[in-house]
């Protein structure tokens, strides 16, 4: 691993900041001052910052209650991103395990473990649950049509996988999906002649949004939640 990448993963400093640390002589490898940010570290090399030995941490896993108006991206020139909300955490290497539209709220999982996020997002292996509010009363046959599969506009030859819809009121429902197509929930309701007014994700892969988290707040996942994400079909 490169020295700058190692330091970025073990401290709050970005790679560009690592170069400043090197110029200031604050970093040492095997007790010796170094200047090369691209120095390749071996398995027995030691790195210290201001005399403190750095240790490579394990993968990181977070849940965030995404508010409306925040984009599910690592960077964006116009809007705040979910990573901007992770105050105090180094964003180096982090990515979103399942994005939400800018106006959709709720559970977002963030990690630097690529294999874990791939399993969480795999179609048909992990369910996602959404709370939906619609512009018009939900049709009586909506449950049946969702369970059968719907042909979405532009994807008429690929019906959706069976989905579960549970009506909570005339214009409110819970929806369970096994896949994650572009704007899928909104397009499914459009396919039955309705319009989604509000959309909130409550759960992904058996991981429930912590009700103690206000919009914009986050916390690390528990070991049990991380394990749930590792088990196919949990």
Give the pair of three-digit tokens for residue 213. 């988290």
Catalytic residue list contains 101: yes
Give how far Cα 57 sits from Cα of 12, 29, 61, 94, Å. Answer: 12, 18, 12, 13
Angle (deg, nearest 10), helices 15-23 and 3-10: 110
Coil, helix or strand for 77?
coil
Distance, CA of 218 to CA of 66 (rounded, Å): 9
Q: What is the largest CA-CA distance in the chain?
A: 73
42 by DSSP, 3-state: which?
Answer: coil
Query: Closest Cα to residue 200, out of 52, 68, 81, 13?
Result: 68
**Catalytic residue among 76, 84, 101, 210, which?**
101
| Alpha-carbon gap, residue 127 to 149, rounded angstroms | 15
76-92 b/e with 16+ CB inside 10 Å = b?
eeeeebbbbbbeeebbb
Q: Say if residues 109 and 217 touch (Cβ distance below 8 Å).
A: no
Q: What is the CA radius of gyration of the chain?
A: 22
In angstroms, the CA 164 to CA 44 distance is 53
Name the residues annotated as catalytic.
Answer: 101
């Amino acid at each position: 691993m490169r020295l700058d990448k190692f330091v970025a993963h073990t401290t709050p400093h970005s790679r560009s900041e690592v170069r400043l640390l090197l110029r200031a002589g604050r970093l040492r490898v095997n007790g010796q001052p170094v200047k090369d940010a691209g120095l390749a570290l071996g398995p027995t090399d030691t790195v210290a910052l201001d005399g403190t030995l750095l240790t490579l941490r394990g993968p990181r896993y977070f849940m965030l209650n995404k508010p409306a108006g925040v984009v599910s991206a690592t960077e964006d020139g116009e809007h705040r991103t979910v990573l901007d909300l992770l105050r105090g955490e180094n964003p180096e290497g982090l990515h979103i395990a399942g994005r939400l539209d800018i106006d959709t709220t709720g559970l977002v999982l963030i990690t630097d473990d690529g294999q874990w996020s791939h399993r969480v997002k795999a179609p048909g292996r992990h369910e996602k649950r959404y709370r939906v509010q619609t512009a018009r009363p939900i049709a009586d046959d909506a449950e049946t049509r969702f369970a059968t599969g719907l042909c979405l506009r532009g994807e008429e030859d690929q019906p959706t996988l069976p989905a579960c819809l549970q009506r909570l009121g005339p214009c409110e429902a819970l929806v369970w999906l096994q896949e994650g197509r572009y704007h899928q929930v909104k397009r499914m309701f459009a396919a039955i002649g309705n319009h989604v007014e509000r959309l909130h994700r409550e759960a992904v892969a058996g991981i429930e949004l912590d009700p103690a988290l206000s919009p914009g707040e986050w916390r690390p996942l528990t070991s049990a939640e991380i394990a749930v994400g590792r088990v196919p079909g949990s």
